[in-house]
Amino acid sequence: MATAATPATNMAMIKPCISSSRKVFMSSTASFSTESKEASWNRLTSSSHISSSFRSIFSAPIKFKKVVTRAMSSENENKPLPGLPVDLRGLTWRLSHVAPEFAISLENLNSRYAAIPGHMFLCGKRAFIAGVADDNGYGWAIAKSLAAAGAEITVGTWVPALNIFESSLRRGKFDESRVLPDGSLMEITKVYPMDAVYDSPDDVPEDVKLNKRYAGSSKWTVKELVESVKQDFGSIDILVHSLANGPEVTKPLLETSRNGYLAAISASSYSFVSLLKEFVSIMNPGGASISLTYIASERIIPGYGGGMSSAKAALESDTRVLAFEAGRKHKIRVNTISAGPLRSRAAKAIGFIDMMIDYSLANAPLQKELSAEEVGNAAAFLASPLASAITGAVVYVDNGLNVMGVGVDSPIFVDLDIPKDN
């Protein structure tokens, strides 16, 4: 039941909404009496952490306009403010959600006022990123972008890499890499041991069970992992698959063994099917699942062998099928990002990553080296309400290299007037 109208004016005011690890902004209400306007302004500046020097930008007395009183019930107090959760206004901050007649420009303010936090459009969401084992891969970058958007972060780390990863986190080795745009550090709520090649304990071979690299860890198969997350948190909203492995990746396909080929498929594509199959039961409707693919799925990349190109093709095909099935049954969106080359530790194992980066710089429409952050930001977009109608898609984040039909750095094109970034 709506509350009765009073002589006070209800206006929306920014208020920090605390999730487990991030401060984000949600709407609440503040009441400004028409009887004491100057006092109201003082309360506004105090509660919004606006310093006295901020007020000094107004050379004339502030005029408060009388506005129509709007009754607000508890039912709509937590509704988001209108407008897209993205700020494209540069250094202009409009206090339209405080009072429409105020528009405050930051251009002439001290630089400290320019560091306004970004919009937290994933506030209250929980993400699980599978395949984070260091701080320089796409999985880490995606975790950072999701955290910057307000999501709570949990990760799954391959069991043999777990001790080193957790130790590095504890000792602060990753602190520089954890810094978010607002200056705070990304918090990882929990790190889970994981090996997505095995669905249940019955699938684990005896030699793996006895392997000293797995000693001391438990509940790391896919089903056990999901059950642990369920017990700890109940549900998640975002699932990210950032893992791949091809034991014979350096071998041409004609020299790849059956075991090597199937191992690449198992670790790099079926693992996504398995994770989503188990996680979907604890994912909230409207959630999103994202994986990482590579253009070798549809183009020939010599040196990317061992069945890995086939695994990426399978991953993209599975993305479309899973988008249909998970969308119809659970209202979950499924997309994959085709990312360009990155100098990550995993990529260096292939042996020719530097050549691929150089090739991209010479031939892509955008002549710059791709950053992990750019892929992370694309993932945050796909996980957000802004992408609510996007599913089953392969989203290219590669400076446009995927659209090229020829390598323009070839001597054949030397006489053409091809624009270059000098």
Catalytic residues: 269, 312
The β-bridge partners of 335 are 290
DSSP 203: G
What is the spatial distance between Cα 404 and Cα 385, in angstroms, rounded to a whole number? 31
Query: Mutual orientation of helices 271-279 and 308-330 as an angle, nearest 10°?
Result: 20
What is the spatial distance between Cα 189 and Cα 238, in angstroms, rounded to a whole number? 15
The β-bridge partners of 241 are 130, 291
User: The tokens 């999701």 sit on which residue?
Assistant: 146
Residues counted in the chain: 422
Distances (CA, A) of 357 to 336, 343, 368, 369: 21, 8, 9, 7
Cα diameter, the chain: 84
What is the spatial distance between Cα 421 and Cα 278, in angstroms, rounded to a whole number? 47
- DSSP readout, 314-361? HHHHHHHHHHHHHHHHH--EEEEEEE-----HHHHTTS-HHHHHHHHH
DSSP 286: E
- DSSP readout, 60-116? S---PPP-------TTTTTSPPSS-S---STTEE--TTT-TT--EE-TTS-GGGG-P
Do 344 and 357 touch, CB atoms closer than 8 A?
no
What is the spatial distance between Cα 331 and Cα 324, in angstroms, rounded to a whole number? 9
Distance of CA 265 to the CA centre of its chain: 25
Three-class SS state of 397: strand
For residue 48, with 0-12 CB atoms within 10 Å meaning exposed, 13-18 middle and 19 or more buried, which class applies? middle
